[in-house]
């Protein structure tokens, strides 16, 4: 094939869908088809299931790019690589989206529509978005095992959730209890703490007394709740009120009898209002806690629809706003209000409908996190979940999230898992009119107490995190694959999984719950590593959102620049846990790079047409340039592999880019042009390209696979073996005469030429390239090498050989020498200037060294090894100087 036969511009659109189809049909996304030895290690990742509420955004794309990189890397390294796809039903979020949609289209509420009809609509919506999401996921090139696809609300997961609920109930972990919850009066549902948002609002702060002779004035923004006050809390340090602590008062507040106890609580701020807080246990989170601590009565004032309960005289049945206005009027009449001021406070609102949250006590299902569990050796879920992170059974990348996780876990409270919504997992609890409640996998035939068959199932649904918390094992066949404490099937082969790749914003919401649930269900951790990617923000560092209109649609970008470019721009320059800025320009830039790789390949393919690149390379035929690129390749493989192992994806990518552009394209390809059609060179070109494509594959799978097909490969790049440095090392290791730095030398010559070109007034490019690489003049490289050797002898042993660590430093000093030689050939005067500058530098360096070595402290305290090194450096530098001076003399 010649380069002419391939277009100079790579067109992703023509390639990507075709390639993805080939991959998918090959079956290799499923590790069962990989033909691996039975002892092959597994590497499993479960994909965080995206909510089916909307199409994917760039955050998802980043997640897919990183996940796919990890899984492709492991697959090529011979692991049983499994990546499980799925979607999340996102109970409350989905219900709200659909509810809004229906209301906008027909003006109907879900109640008007009825549960059955409404759920039908939800499923219709769900199918639609699910299809979109799965399409987008494929477009990203994700090598997911679609045969194991799951949905958090499909039949298999329903079974698992029911089983889990029953198991937890029987172990006493799940209980029903009354607690203060965030209630949305519009959604008619509780909200988890993290579903509550806050909004600043201007409001009035009233300072008043309950009645005339009540000793303390209190401040409130919600006078209507004061009908249910049972205490006044003050700061224990507050001198003004100390004397009242423990006292009880009884009196009449707006026609209602109240018993008020004065309690002390550190949470009370002395500076706010009067420094005294009216405690309404039923309608404030903090008050509830105080009530628990002080054994206070709980009086419910507000009902589920936001109206005042019966029993509060004329206020009953009024809405909170009406009641508030009326109470203010009444208080004013009685002259109890002492102050009225405008303040800005933080209002809790529903994250879906922005309605103000009404905290109120309600009967809910909870997961107890502090209760000792028998099968966890009488440790609580919380204790176990903390333990596995503390002892590093689960490792977080980056490590700082271990602290965040632990901090959060330690403050964890019981988890409310019931939601008053229609869409979601049903709760396997059944109630009888006689008051009996039964928790059971199947609907019980009759009530065990009264034999009644009239049982009704709990109407609530489960928090979506309850089902997604089981994701690592519910996707691997739990509970069927877990009998008598023994794992079987997929669960045995793939659990615990190796990696969870997710956004750090759901570390607490999801990750912690997965850990607790896995520990409970199968007694093991769900994953060994958690890689937390950052948030994708726009180029100004702002969060991307629909309302701001600064979002970038991944599909648009793929359409415009190709998937590989999008993937690269998401992988490069991103470090775990840190937010990443992304702009269209960045994607465009990587599109250019992908095209560059394409063109490099075109060139190589045209050169290798006649050569059989499967032939072995004969070492004796190698030139310096060959050895240099081979050694570079060897280092590249080592470096990239190590970086990928430790999740430094961006660093690995940079190394690859550096090699591809600077070493391979800019220099070796140029050399190849001048060295003509040497068969050996073409074989090397081909072999390098092949390994380079393998190394790039996890980053940019499409273009590499496409080029791969042009190389007459017998199998897909997808399942090729990861390159090894040894293969390259073998080629050159046999050469006894090969100095450890022979390749670096070639590079140095190249550097010298570059410097020369920069300084010389002659038109250098072609001429110099010719001098170095072409025909007879190529001998000059060898001459240069002899010169280097001479220099080395005269300078003595170089640091590289002694320290073996920092060759570049030592070599830096001999660059001057090489340059002398080459430049001498062309322009002695220019050289003179150069060498003088060089000398100056060296002298500066030398004096620095001398200064350091004359420092007594240094001699005394620095390790002997360092001192010796420094001495040696000085010696070298001095020798170099004298060498250079000699050269300078010769020049003149």
Partner RNA sequence: GGACGAUUAGCUCAGUUGGUUAGAGCACUUCUCUUACAAAGAAGGGGUCACUGGUUCGAGUCCAGUAUCGUCCACCA
Q: Within positions 784 to 843, which residues make up the interface with RNA, using CB under 7 A? A: 799, 806, 809-810, 812, 841-842
| Least separation in angstroms between CB 528 and RNA | 21
Contacting RNA within 369-428 (CB under 7 A): 400, 403-404, 407-408, 411
Listed in sequence order, the DSSP H helices in 533-583 are: 554-561, 563-571
**Does residue number 610 form part of the binding site for RNA (CB under 7 A)?**
no
Q: Of the two residues 141 and 275, which places its CB atom closer to RNA in the complex?
A: 275
Of 445 and 860, CB closest to RNA: 860
CA 74 – CA 68 distance, rounded (Å): 10
For RNA, the closer CB: 308 or 849:
849
Interactions with RNA, residue window 485-504 (CB under 7 A): 504
- Report the nearest approach of RNA to the CB of residue 620 (Å): 27
Q: Closest CB to RNA among 12 and 67? A: 12
10 makes contact with RNA (CB under 7 A): yes
CB 274 to RNA: min, Å: 9
Q: Which of 156, 650, 760, 780 binds RNA (CB under 7 A)?
A: 650
**Binding positions for RNA, 504-523, rule CB under 7 A:** 504-505, 508
When asked if residue 654 is in the footprint of RNA (CB under 7 A), the reply is yes
- Minimum distance between the CB of residue 403 and RNA, rounded to whole angstroms? 4
Interaction between residue 651 and RNA (CB under 7 A) = yes
* Closer residue to RNA, CB minimum distance, 416 or 731: 416
Contact 211, 252 (CB under 8 A): yes
Residue 504 or 567 with smaller CB distance to RNA: 504
Least separation in angstroms between CB 824 and RNA: 20
Binding residue for RNA, selected from 766, 779, 864, 892, defined by CB under 7 A: 766
Q: Round to whole Å and give the CA distance between 243 and 429.
A: 50
Shortest distance in whole angstroms from residue 534 CB to RNA: 9
Q: Is 104 in the site for RNA (CB under 7 A)?
A: no
CB of 734 to RNA, least distance (A): 29
Q: CA triplet 184, 190, 195: central angle to 5 degrees?
A: 85
702 vs 85: CA distance, rounded Å: 20
Task: Assess 635 for contact with RNA (CB under 7 A).
Answer: no
Question: Read out DSSP for 585-646?
Answer: HHHHHHHHHHHHHHHHHHHHHHHTTSS-TTSPPPGGG--HHHHHHHHHHHHHHHHHHHHHHT
Question: Quick one: 233 or 629, whose CB is closer to RNA?
Answer: 233
Note whether 547 binds RNA by CB under 7 A.
Answer: no
Positions in 119-148 near RNA (CB under 7 A): none
Distance (Å, whole) CA 800 – CA 876: 12
Q: Which of 37, 36, 49 shows the shortest CA–CA distance to 148?
A: 49
Quick one: which segment of 479-487, 593-601, 614-622, 818-826 binds RNA (CB under 7 A)? 593-601
CB of 193 to RNA, least distance (A): 3
Q: How far is the CB of 544 from RNA (least distance, A)?
A: 12
Residue nearer to RNA on the CB measure, 494 or 696: 696
State the greatest distance between any 2 C-alpha atoms of the chain, in Å, as a whole number.
116
Site for RNA contains 689 (CB under 7 A): no
Rounded to the nearest 10°, the torsion over CA 716, 718, 722, 727 is 20
- Least CB distance from residue 825 to RNA, whole Å? 19
Tell the burial category of 293 from Cβ atoms under 10 Å away from its Cβ (0-12, 13-18, 19+): exposed
Site track 728-757 with RNA (rule: CB under 7 A), x = hit: --------------------------xx-x
- For the bound state, the minimum distance from the C-beta of residue 54 to RNA, rounded and expressed in Å, comes to 18
Given candidates 38, 257, 346, 547, which one binds RNA under the rule CB under 7 A? Answer: 346
Span of 277-285, 415-423, 466-474, 487-495 interacting with RNA by CB under 7 A? 277-285
Q: How far is the CB of 357 from RNA (least distance, A)?
A: 9
Q: Which is nearer to RNA, 509 or 719 (CB)?
A: 509
Query: In this structure, are residues 316 and 188 in contact, taking their beta carbons and an 8 Å threshold?
Result: no
Is there a contact between 381 and 519 (Cβ–Cβ < 8 Å)?
Answer: yes
Total residues at the site for RNA (CB under 7 A)?
Answer: 94
Is position 285 an interface residue for RNA (rule: CB under 7 A)?
Answer: yes
Residue 628 Cβ vs RNA, minimum distance, rounded to whole Å: 16
Burial of 560 (0-12, 13-18, 19+ CB in 10 A): middle
For residues 86 and 562, which CB has a smaller minimum distance to RNA in the complex? 562
Q: Across the beta sheet with 437-439, what order do the strands follow? A: 437-439, 429-432, 455-457
Nearest 10 degrees: Cα torsion 410, 414, 416, 417: 80
Q: Using the rule CB under 7 A, is 573 a contact of RNA?
A: yes
Chain Cα centroid distance, residue 829 = 57
Task: Give 249's strand partners.
Answer: 260
Decide: is 268 part of the binding site for RNA (CB under 7 A): yes
φ/ψ of 744, rounded to 5, equals: -60, -35
> Would you say 413 or 492 has its CB closer to RNA?
413
Nearer to RNA, 438 or 544 (CB): 544
Which residue lies nearer to RNA by CB, 128 or 505? 505
What is the spatial distance between Cα 347 and Cα 351, in angstroms, rounded to a whole number?
12
φ, ψ (nearest 5 deg) of residue 486: -120, 135
CA–CA separation, 58 and 339 (whole Å):
51
Query: Sign of torsion, CA 576 578 579 580?
Result: negative
CB 347 within 8 A of CB 354: no
Residue 523 · residue 567 · CB < 8 Å:
no
At 358, give phi and psi (nearest 5°).
-110, 105
List binders of RNA among 206-265 (CB under 7 A). Answer: 218-222, 233
Shorter beta-carbon distance to RNA: residue 372 or 398: 398
Q: How far is the CB of 333 from RNA (least distance, A)?
A: 21
Shortest Cβ distance from residue 592 to RNA (Å)? 4
**Of residues 844-873, those binding RNA (CB under 7 A):** 845, 848-849, 852, 855, 857-858, 860-863, 866, 873
- Bridge partners of 190? 183
Residue 770's CB: how many other CB atoms inside 10 A? Answer: 13
Q: Helix, strand, or coil here: 406?
A: helix
Site stretch for RNA (CB under 7 A), options 239-247, 342-350, 614-622, 725-733? 342-350
The least distance separating RNA from the CB of residue 453, rounded to whole angstroms, comes to: 42
Contact indicator for 348, 356 with CB cutoff of 8 Å: yes
CB of 439 to RNA, least distance (A): 28
* Contact present, 838 and 823 (Cβ < 8 Å): no
Contact segment (CB under 7 A) with RNA among 131-139, 474-482, 576-584, 778-786 equals 576-584
Q: How many residues does the chain have?
A: 892
For residue 664, give Cα distances in angstroms to 7, 95, 616, 702, 752.
21, 55, 20, 21, 18
Task: Give the C-alpha separation, 616 to 626, whole Å.
Answer: 14
For RNA, the closer CB: 829 or 875: 875
Residue 438: CB minimum distance to RNA, A: 33
Is there a contact between 472 and 502 (Cβ–Cβ < 8 Å)?
A: no
Question: Of residues 297, 449, 578, 871, which one binds RNA by CB under 7 A?
Answer: 578
Judged by CB under 7 A, the residue of 26, 550, 606, 641 near RNA is: 606
């Amino acid at each position: 094939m010649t380069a002419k036969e391939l277009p100079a511009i790579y067109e992703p659109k023509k390639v990507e869908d075709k390639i993805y189809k080939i991959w998918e049909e090959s079956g290799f996304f499923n590790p069962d088809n990989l033909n691996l030895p039975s002892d092959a290690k597994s590497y499993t990742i479960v994909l965080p299931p995206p909510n089916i509420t909307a199409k994917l955004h760039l955050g998802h794309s980043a997640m897919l790019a990183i996940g796919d990189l990890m899984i492709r890397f492991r697959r090529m390294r011979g692991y049983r690589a499994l990546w499980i796809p799925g979607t999340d039903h996102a109970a409350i979020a989905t219900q709200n989206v659909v509810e809004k949609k229906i209301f906008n289209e027909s003006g109907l509420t879900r109640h008007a529509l009825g549960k059955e009809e409404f759920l039908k609509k939800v499923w219709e919506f769900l199918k639609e978005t699910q299809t979109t999401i799965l399409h987008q996921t494929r477009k990203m090139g994700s090598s997911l095992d679609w045969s194991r696809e799951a949905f958090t609300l499909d039949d298999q997961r329903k079974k698992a959730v029911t089983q889990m609920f029953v198991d937890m109930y029987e172990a006493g972990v799940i209980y029903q209890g009354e607690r203060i919850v965030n209630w949305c009066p519009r959604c008619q549902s509780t909200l988890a703490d993290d579903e509550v948002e806050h909004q600043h609002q201007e409001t009035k702060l009233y300072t008043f007394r309950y009645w005339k002779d009540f000793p303390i004035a209190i401040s409130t923004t919600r006078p209507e709740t004061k009908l249910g006050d049972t205490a006044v809390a003050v700061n224990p340090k507050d001198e003004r009120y100390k004397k009242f602590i423990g006292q009880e008062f009884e009196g009449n507040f707006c026609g209602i009898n109240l018993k008020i106890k004065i309690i002390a609580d550190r949470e009370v701020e002395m500076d706010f209002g009067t420094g005294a807080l009216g405690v309404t246990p039923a309608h404030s989170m903090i008050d509830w806690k105080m009530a628990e601590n002080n054994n206070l009565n709980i009086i419910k004032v507000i009902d589920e629809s936001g109206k005042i309960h019966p029993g509060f005289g004329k206020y009953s049945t009024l809405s909170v706003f009406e009641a508030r206005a009326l109470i203010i009027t009444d208080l004013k009449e009685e002259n109890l209000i002492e102050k009225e001021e405008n303040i800005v406070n933080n209002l809790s609102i529903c994250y879906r409908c922005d309605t103000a949250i009404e905290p109120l006590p309600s009967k809910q299902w909870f997961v107890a996190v502090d209760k000792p569990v028998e099968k966890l050796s009488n440790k609580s879920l919380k204790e176990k979940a903390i333990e596995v992170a503390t002892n590093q059974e689960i490792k977080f990348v980056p490590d700082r999230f271990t602290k965040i996780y632990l901090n959060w876990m330690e403050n964890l409270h019981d988890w409310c898992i019931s939601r008053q919504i229609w869409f979601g997992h049903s709760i396997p609890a059944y109630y009888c009119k006689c008051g009996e409640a039964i928790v059971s996998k199947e609907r019980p035939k009759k009530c065990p107490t009264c034999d009644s068959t009239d049982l009704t199932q709990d109407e609530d649904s489960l928090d979506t995190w309850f089902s997604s918390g089981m994701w690592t094992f519910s996707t691997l066949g739990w509970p069927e694959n877990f009998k008598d404490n023994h794992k079987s099937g997929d669960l045995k082969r793939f659990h615990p999984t190796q990696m969870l790749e997710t956004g750090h914003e759901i570390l607490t919401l999801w990750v912690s719950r997965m850990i607790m649930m896995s520990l409970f269900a199968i007694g093991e951790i769900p994953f060994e590593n958690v890689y937390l990617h950052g948030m994708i923000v726009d180029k100004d560092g702002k969060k991307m959102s629909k309302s701001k209109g600064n979002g970038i649609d991944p599909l648009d970008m793929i359409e415009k620049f190709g998937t590989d470019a999008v993937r690269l721009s998401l992988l490069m320059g991103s470090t775990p846990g840190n937010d990443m800025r992304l702009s269209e320009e960045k994607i465009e830039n990587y599109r250019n790079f992908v095209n560059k790789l394409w063109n490099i390949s075109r060139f190589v393919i045209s050169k290798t047409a006649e050569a059989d690149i499967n032939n072995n390379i004969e070492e004796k035929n190698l030139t310096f340039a060959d050895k240099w690129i081979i050694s570079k390749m060897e280092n590249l493989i080592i470096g990239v592999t190590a970086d990928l192992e430790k999740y430094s994806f961006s660093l690995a990518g940079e190394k690859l880019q550096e090699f591809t552009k600077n070493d391979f394209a800019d220099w070796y390809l140029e050399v190849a042009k001048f060295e003509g059609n040497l068969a050996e060179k073409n074989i090397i070109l081909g072999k390098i390209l092949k390994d380079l494509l393998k190394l790039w594959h996890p980053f940019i799978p499409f273009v590499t696979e496409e080029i791969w097909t042009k190389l007459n490969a017998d199998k897909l790049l997808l399942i090729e073996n990861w390159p090894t440095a040894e293969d390259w090392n073998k080629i050159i290791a046999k050469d006894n005469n090969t100095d450890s730095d022979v390749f670096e030398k070639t590079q140095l010559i190249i550097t010298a030429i570059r410097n020369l070109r920069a300084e010389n007034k002659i038109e250098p490019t072609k001429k110099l390239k010719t001098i170095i690489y072409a025909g007879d003049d190529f001998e000059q490289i060898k001459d240069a090498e002899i010169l280097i050797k001479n220099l080395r002898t005269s300078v003595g042993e170089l640091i590289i050989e002694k320290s073996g660590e920092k060759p570049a430093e030592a070599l830096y000093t001999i660059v001057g020498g090489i340059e002398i030689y080459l430049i001498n050939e062309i322009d002695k005067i220019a050289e003179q200037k150069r060498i003088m500058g060089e000398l100056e530098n060296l002298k500066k360096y030398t004096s620095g060294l001398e200064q350091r070595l004359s420092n007594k402290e240094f001699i005394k305290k620095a390790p002997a090894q360092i001192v010796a090194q420094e001495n040696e450096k000085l010696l070298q530098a001095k020798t170099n100087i004298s060498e250079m001076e000699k050269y300078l003399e010769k020049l003149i």
